[in-house]
Amino acid sequence: MTKITTCIFDAYGTLFDVAAAARELANEPGREAFCAVWQQVANDWRLKQLQYSWLRAVARDHCDFWNVTGDGLDWALERAGLADAELREALLGLYWQLSAYPEVPAMLAALKAAGVQTGILSNGSPDMLAGAVQSAAIGDVLDAVLSVEDVGVFKPDVRVYDLVGQHFGCAPGEVLFVSANGWDAAFGAAYGFDTLWVNRAGEPMDRLSGQPGRVASDLTGVPGIAGGE
């Protein structure tokens, strides 16, 4: 078995809780209308954000992830009947301060203590990712934050996965690639990464050309997997 030298994480939904922005705003006084539909908005927002990234990749019509994020939110708010410019700006503002899942800091620290290289590989634009990393205070346990903007196309284009080897100088089999997106984990596995799908919602496996080698409900076990347990 090839030794894992590098552990690479998707960002949104994997390290950072993408529902946090909507959930936190829904709890504010005066947000009763939004509170009633925040879960629908959060789900629609994330779904459209991903769909638009895939469609733009196929159409070779790239824009940065911030624009995709705004477009997805506009669709979600319109579907919920919330034409509220102030609400839109508040939600987008919170997206720069997403909370990390509770197990993330200790998990990353354990990887670094074991001598494993760590990084993010994300559709997010560099400034968005920098804001999230700073807000979650995990910059000191990450060796790199890699953005698709370096190649101008969204995942799952193989040029995105190529960024890992180009940066770290490692073979795909030396990489443990961790994503909460089943499709991302599947294509990462097809690319040659050792993969872990973080299936927090207990969803079915995607029917794609690859399948993740492992499935877990959270990130707690990542250091053990990287260490060969």
Nearest to 103 by CA among 202, 222, 219: 219
Helix/strand number for the chain, H first, E second: 10, 6
The Cβ-side half-sphere exposure at 175, using a 13 Å CA radius, reads 30
The Cβ-side half-sphere exposure at 90, using a 13 Å CA radius, reads 15
Is 10 annotated in the active site? yes
Sign of CA dihedral 24, 25, 26, 28: positive
Residues classed as catalytic: 10
